[in-house]
Structure 1
Amino acid sequence: MNPVTTHAQSTEREDRLWLVRHGETDWSKSGRHTSTTDLPLTAEGEQVAASLKERLAAEQFDLVLTSPMQRARRTAELAGFPDAEVDEDLVEWNYGDYEGITTAEIRETVPGWTVWKDPVPNGETPAQVATRLNRVIAKIAAVDGDVLVFAHSHALRALTARWLELNVTEGRHFVLGTATVSVLGWERGSPAIHRWNC
C-alpha cells in the first residue's frame, strides 16, 4: 500500500511537511554532484542557514528529521534544531561514478543526461530512491502534527514527488535552491504543495 495514500485517508488533516535544503557548499555552488562526499557549508552557506532560525521560530514541529550528512545537520543546528533526529534514508541520491562532477561534464559523454531518466553507474536507481523515501513518508504519516526535514536537493525533490503520489522521477519538475523552505500539506484531502523554494 502506498504510504502516502494511507496518510491521506483522513480528509481533514491539516498537518504539514516542511522541507529545508541544506545551505551552500563549495560543490553545490559550482554545480558538482554531491551525495556521499561529506562537505561542510561555506561561510555564506552558514550565514544563510542561520537566517532560517528566525523564519522557523514561530512554527511548532512534532518531529524534526535530518540527513546524516554534515551539511544538512549543520543547517538544522544553525536553524535552531540541534537535536534533529538523524534519518539515514534522507541522504542524497547516490551519484555513483558521477560524484563530484557537473551535469555539463557528464553530458560530454552522455548527451542529454539527467539523474531523473538516465542510469547512474554504480549509483542509485529511481526505484531504490523511492523505496527509502517511502519509509520516510511512512514515518511522517505516523506523526500527528507538523514535521520538519533537513536534507538535499534531489532527495527532497523526490520526496515531494512521493508525497504527491507521483513517480519519484517527477521530482524533476521541482527546482530547489540551497537553504530554502518549502511546505507540503493537504487540499481537501489531497496531498498538495503549499509553498515552494522560498
Structure 2
Amino acid sequence: MKRILLVRHGESEWNAVRRLQGQADIELSQRGEQQACALGPMVATYNPDLVLTSDLNRAARTAALLGYPEAIKEPLLREQNVGKWTGAEIAQLLAETPHDYAGWRAGTFAPENGEVWADFRARVGHAMKRAIEAREQTVLLVCHGGVIRAALDGALGLPPARIIPAGPASLTILAFPKDEARLEVFNATTFAPQLDAPD
C-alpha cells in the first residue's frame, strides 16, 4: 500500500521567535536540529524507499539529520510564499491585522505579493502526484507546515481553517489503500505534540 510520510522541518531560527518565514531561507535553530535527530528513529521504522525534500535549507537539513542526506530536492515542496509578510512577527500581525491573518490561515486571504491558497495547494498537489505515482511504496516528503496543510486539503478536502499547524519535526502519514486517501497519523513527535505551533 502506498504511504506518503510528511515531515515538517525542525524548529527554525524564525519559528523560535514566531516570525513568518514563507520562502525565506532560514536555518534550523539548535533546538530544531535536536528535534530532527530525535525524530529520525521514528521515521526509519517506516523504511521510506524514496525521499524528497523542499530545497529550502531548513527542510534539506532536517532530511539530512533524519538520515537522508541524499534526499532529492523538490522546489514544489517549498513553503507558501507570504509576500510582504515575510519576516513579520506573528504577534504584530495578530494585533494590527487580525482579520487578514485569520483569513490567511483559513486560505481566504493572501498578503501583498503572496501566494494565493488555491495556487499553493495546486503546486503541492503536483508534488503529491509525483510521490503517489512513484514506483516506491513509501515516500518521505520533508517539507513545511503549510505544505502539510495543503496536502491534507488536496488529498482529504480538509481545509486549512479546520486544522492546526503541524508542529516542528512532526510526522503526518497519508495512506492510499485504493483510490482514496486516508489519514493514518497527524502531528506525531517524539516529545509532547505542539498544539500551538508557529506558522
* Alignment TM-score > 0.5, same fold: yes
Distance 1:41 1:178 in 2: 10
Name the residue aligned to 2:73.
Answer: 86
Gaps (5+ residues) in structure 2?
Answer: 189-199
Distance 1:118 1:108 in 2: 17
1:48 corresponds, among 24, 35, 50, to 35
**CA contact 2:4–2:132 (8 Å) conserved in 1:** no
Does residue 1:147 correspond to 2:139, yes or no?
Answer: yes
TM-score (norm 2): 0.85
Q: 1:138 to 1:172 in 2, by over 3 A?
A: same
Give the number of the structure whose alpha-carbon radius of gyration is greater.
1
1:124 corresponds, among 100, 115, 119, to 115
Distance 2:161 2:98 in 1: 17
**CA contact 1:157–1:172 (8 Å) conserved in 2:** no
Distance 1:139 1:89 in 2: 10
Name the residue aligned to 1:194.
Answer: 184
**CA contact 1:62–1:143 (8 Å) conserved in 2:** no
Number of residues paired by the alignment?
Answer: 182
Name the residue aligned to 1:174.
Answer: 163
Percent of residue pairs identical? 30
Letter in 2 for 1:41: L
Residues 29-68 of structure 1 aligned to structure 2 (within 5 Å): 29-68=16-55
Distance 2:36 2:140 in 1: 15
**CA contact 1:66–1:151 (8 Å) conserved in 2:** yes
Gaps (5+ residues) in structure 1?
Answer: 1-13
TM-score (norm 1): 0.85
How far apart are residue 189 of structure 1 and its match? 4.7
